[in-house]
A and B are shown apart, each in its own frame.
Chain A
């Protein structure tokens, strides 16, 4: 089955700096890669996703890059703000109606003033 590794487990940045979280996956059949943000006690919220036919996707301060050859993908947050503080999870799955997500272990991001 799929195995997703995520690094770092914790990340502290100053407000305004950039944050980068990296994930690797093992199953070459995976072609859908979402990123979720989860605040304490809340539901995971989709912040951006990318499919394997695209190498990079950007949405305002958030971007995701994908390298299918190396089987890794990364989340980039620029101009970080205190409200970006949360736990971020990457995930991977093959497409299809029955396909399931395999989550990374999570990164706790702390944006300090």
Chain B
């Protein structure tokens, strides 16, 4: 149980285009989903926290107009990188936390490798 999927697993796009990444909890309902960014050989940096039915909370320094997050249901959150540029190239990973009260565990998706040319 507690499986999180992410789509696509990798994407290459031209500079200036937008890219949408989906994060789904397959066998549980996720009250909260998180979006992280990871550069090579570095740690996971939290970008934003997404709660179902409400606006995402962005970490300091993350542009909310560039990284659009939508959490339309208890099993789906999307991250859209708008007007992507080469510096946005990175490994993007989502995680989901189960709905049950008192559950702290975050389950991670397999990640999406974005390359912007």
Contact = CB atoms under 8 A, between A and B. Distances in A.
Contacts of A93: 104
B93 interface: yes
**Interface residues of B, dominant DSSP:** strand
Contacts of B107: 46
Contacts of B101: 97
B104 A42 contact: no
B46 A100 contact: yes
B93 A97 contact: no
B1 interface: no
A103 B43 contact: yes
Interface residues of A, number: 24
A97 B43 contact: no
Contacts of B42: 105-106
Interface of A: 32, 34, 36, 41-46, 49, 51, 89, 93, 95, 97-106
Contact of A104 (B43, B51, B106, B111): B43
Nearest to B108: A43
Given A43-B93, A93-B104, A100 B111 contact: no
B43 A44 contact: no
A87 to B, nearest CB: 8
A44 B104 contact: no
Cβ-closest 4 pairs across A and B: A43-B108, A32-B104, A43-B110, A103-B43
Interface string B95-112: 001000110111111110
B87 to A, nearest CB: 21
B104 A99 contact: yes
B25 interface: no
A109 to B, nearest CB: 14
Contacts of B113: 41
